[in-house]
Amino acid sequence: MLEQLKTKQMLFLEDDEELSRMMIPIFNVFVKEVFYAQHSAQARDVMQIHAIDLIFTDIHLKNENGLDFVKEVRCHNEEIPIIVLSGYKDEPLLLKAIPLGLTDYLIKPINYTQLTIAFEKCLSKIMKVTHSIIVLSNGFSYDIDQKKLFKEGVSYELKKKELLFMELLSKNKNRLITKEMIQESVWEYEEMSDAALYNFIMRIRNRFGKDFIHMISNLGYRLGES
């Protein structure tokens, strides 16, 4: 079952470098790639550039509370699995964490069995989300199971890049879609010129309406109103 996590990317927010050097190789057993951040500003940068599927975060960061970062994430993504780590059981913080919809709360040191169970919970949540229909914009919805875009009962056949783009949008519907995210997910790391990206976005807007997606100058793209 956990083999399905091998296509997923995770963010690890932890200010203890020694612990991180020990944990990241273990995380890499479960997921495709681990992006490491030592503080919330770095974590935000990672999430702007990469499509993150799950998050592990320490709760006690230097001059920061990990739950504050979790609150930020939840403002634009209610579904992503989030595992919180702590050096000790903190009842007041646990009570604050309840409304944030955590997938798990782990007390350090973490053994392999606990970690496996946590990843199983993450995958279960990911699978639950991805077996749903995602409302995008301009009256369009995307059926992740059938890999189809539809509007008012009419489905649209998608070419490969269009399909990968809809997958990217469905996972990040409330986020800014950067050029780097498109190159990674749609061009699959192949060379992508500015002209190629511009022409692709224009084809999307011509086919699905100019309000389907909007350009945010010098930053990226964002879905229009649903």
Over residues 12-52, the pLDDT tens digits come to 999 999 999 999 999 999 999 999 999 999 999 999 888 89
What six digits make up the tokens of 63? 């001059």
- From the list 79, 86, 70, the residue with the least C-alpha distance to 19 is 86
- pLDDT of 95 strictly over 80: no
Q: Which residue has the tokens 């309000």?
A: 211
What six digits make up the tokens of 172? 């990040």
Q: 137 and 172 in contact (C-beta within 8 Å)?
A: no
- pLDDT of 79 strictly over 80: yes
Other C-beta atoms lying within 10 Å of the C-beta of residue 111: 9
pLDDT in tens, 99-152: 788 999 998 889 999 999 999 999 988 887 655 678 899 889 888 877 889 887
Selecting from 1.10.10.10, 1.25.10.10, 1.20.1440.230, 3.40.50.300, what CATH number does the domain 133-223 have? 1.10.10.10
Whole-Å CA distances, 192 to 177, 181, 187, 213: 15, 12, 7, 19
pLDDT in tens, 169-200: 988 888 899 999 999 999 988 899 999 999 99
- Which residue ranges make up each domain of the chain? 2-130, 133-223
Second CATH level (architecture) for the domain 2-130: 3-Layer(aba) Sandwich (3.40)
pLDDT > 90 fraction of the chain, expressed in percent and rounded: 57
Q: 3-class secondary structure for 91-111?
A: HHHHHHHHHHCCCEEEECCCC
Exposure letters 170-185 (e unless 16+ CB within 10 A, then b): bbbbebebbeebbbbb
| CA–CA gap between residue 199 and residue 188 (Å, rounded) | 17
